[in-house]
Amino acid sequence: MTTTLRPAGPEERHDDGSRARTYDICVNSRRVGGIRLTTDARYGPTAGRIQALAIEAPDRHRGRATVAALAAEEVLRGWGCRQIEAAVPVEAEAAVRLAAALGYTERSRRMAKPLTEPPPLPAGSADRAMDEAEYPAWQAEASDRYVRIQTGQGMTRARAEETSADAHRTLLPDGAGTPGHELRILAHDGTDVGTIWIALRMPDQPGGHVFDVTVDPAHRGCGHGRSLMLVAERVCLAAGLPVLGLNVYADNAPARRLYDGLGYRPTAYQLWKPIL
């Protein structure tokens, strides 16, 4: 039997160079599932993504998904893509195993924690809202951090700078006073030691989301990262949100240890591989 991809509709092309197409997964012309391929919104047209892949129940465990994923690489190579990404829910164990067998590695993971009681801050620590006078310096530093991280992940500097600027314009159009977002500064014994950005309105998410957390280099190693996360939990609970989520890169071992220790658990893996 031969497994192939058959276009299920016209290719979608957009002014920014992005493209997408949905395919039927067929065995000898019989549809057994579907797959949707796109170019990646962050990394640009040379990065592809398996946005969705599903095999119908009677045809599972027969290698259909494996062949479809390999065929997706050929399609994306034809689009000029040099890497491919896929987000896999942590509970989709078969998909996680398949991705590992096909050579995907973890780029980052989404994590979340149910919230119950507002945690106390350590003695000497207190937080306050960032004001408009403090916002420009924070925004410049946050953008620099983002560019450093993304170029380290393979994004071009120009693309990283453009993506950062677009994100701040879209998510924080009113600066520190943007509704639905909290920018907080942590002080310890009267000295500012770090900042955190929490979004309180995220599409398709039941709770808040930490976009950016940083401790001043001179004050690292003193537990202030943990305190900033406690601030985020307190902010979410005060807003009536039962869950706090975040994204952490696979190579950021200190942050992963922090989140693990605070009770955050993976909800999805962001996987990738080069297309040779």
Closest CA to 50 of 98, 118, 120, 1: 98
What is the distance between the alpha carbons of residues 267 and 161, in angstroms, rounded to a whole number?
Answer: 28
Residues 80-84 have a mean pLDDT of 94
Q: What is the pTM of this model?
A: 0.90
Distance CA 210, CA 258 (A): 14
Q: Is 202 left (phi over 0), alpha (psi -120 to 50) or beta?
A: beta
Distance of CA 35 to the CA centre of its chain: 21
Q: In the chain, what are the domains? A: 3-103 (3.40.630.30), 113-267 (3.40.630.30)
Q: What is the DSSP letter of 131?
A: P
Instruction: Give per-residue pLDDT as tens, 1-56.
Output: 688 999 999 999 988 788 999 999 999 989 999 999 999 877 878 899 999 999 99
Query: Tens of pLDDT along 175-212?
Result: 999 999 999 999 999 999 999 999 998 877 789 999 99
Q: Assess contact for 116 and 84: CB atoms under 8 A.
A: no
